[in-house]
Amino acid sequence: MAESLSQGIANQNDLATVRAGVPAYLLLIDGSILDDPNNQELLLAGARLYSSYAGIFVEEPARAARLSTKALDYGRRALCHSYPTICDYDKGAFDSFAQQITQLKADELPLLYGYATAWVGWIQAHSSDFSAIADLPKVELLFEQIIKLDPRYERGQAQLYLGVLRTLRPPALGGNPEIGRQHFELAIEYSDGRNLYAKVEFARRYARLIFDQQLHDKLLNEVLDASPEERDLTLINTLAQQQAGQLLDSSAAYFEE
């Protein structure tokens, strides 16, 4: 049920339908987890749904913070049910945490990915909290472990997350956006160019950061010219096209500043 529900939402092409319908399913997932609190599939579905809904549809900061906290709780419980020592270190020293994470194997990729995506969503919703921002190196480590185990995992989604994380700072402030560019390009390659959101984030995070309007507009026009219909990517592609139009509308003003 949890897997079918997640796929049904991922393959929906109407954002308004998902915005209106998902809250009922969040309650359904909550109830199912209450009945079976250690069910890892339910916990991962809850983490994925709460994190996606908060990140895409919730504009009120306080509400997004609440929902992302629940997502992180579910993702953390799913992983730490099998690996309780990770939860002993995820709020502690980086080296101790890293020692635990690097021991995970490919069989645990769904748990690792669910935990990582929920955590990065939580950081985004708590971006005004310095202690949340301080967790970014640990989240980067999670995605690094994922691509170490399988660089193509989820059709390159982990590459996309690393691309975003590694273009948060411009070169003048110690960032290395060229590493981020490599991750964006891999995310596009591993999805056979069908993850349109990877192109939007490539334009938003990298092209704008280095003031490359030609690349920026090229990527966004490719998104608008593509069909959003793609198994398990239709919803995010539909959102990508909406955001691509908005970014293109502001392109001239942004690059002329």
User: What's the pLDDT band for 10 if we cut at 50, 70, 90?
Assistant: confident
CA-to-CA dists, residue 19 to 49, 111, 253, angstroms: 12, 26, 31
Q: Is the pTM here over 0.85, yes or no? A: yes
Q: Is residue 141 part of a domain?
A: no
Please tell me the total count of domains within the chain.
2
Q: Is residue 140 part of a domain?
A: no
199 and 248 housed in the same domain: yes
Range of weakest confidence among 9-23, 97-111, 162-176? 162-176
Q: Is residue 142 part of a domain?
A: no
Q: Is residue 179 part of a domain?
A: yes
Tell me the pLDDT tens digit for each residue of 31-45: 999 999 999 999 999
- Supply the mean pLDDT for the chain: 93
3-state secondary structure 119-159: HHHHHHHCCCCHHHHCCHHHHHHHHHHHHHHCCCHHHHHHH
Q: Is residue 13 part of a domain?
A: yes
**What pLDDT score was predicted for residue 143?**
97
Whether 166 has a pLDDT exceeding 90, the answer reads yes
60 and 2 housed in the same domain: yes
Task: For residues 51-75, give the mean pLDDT.
Answer: 95
End-to-end CA distance of the chain: 50
Task: For residues 87-104, give the mean pLDDT.
Answer: 90
CATH number, position 167 = 1.25.40.920
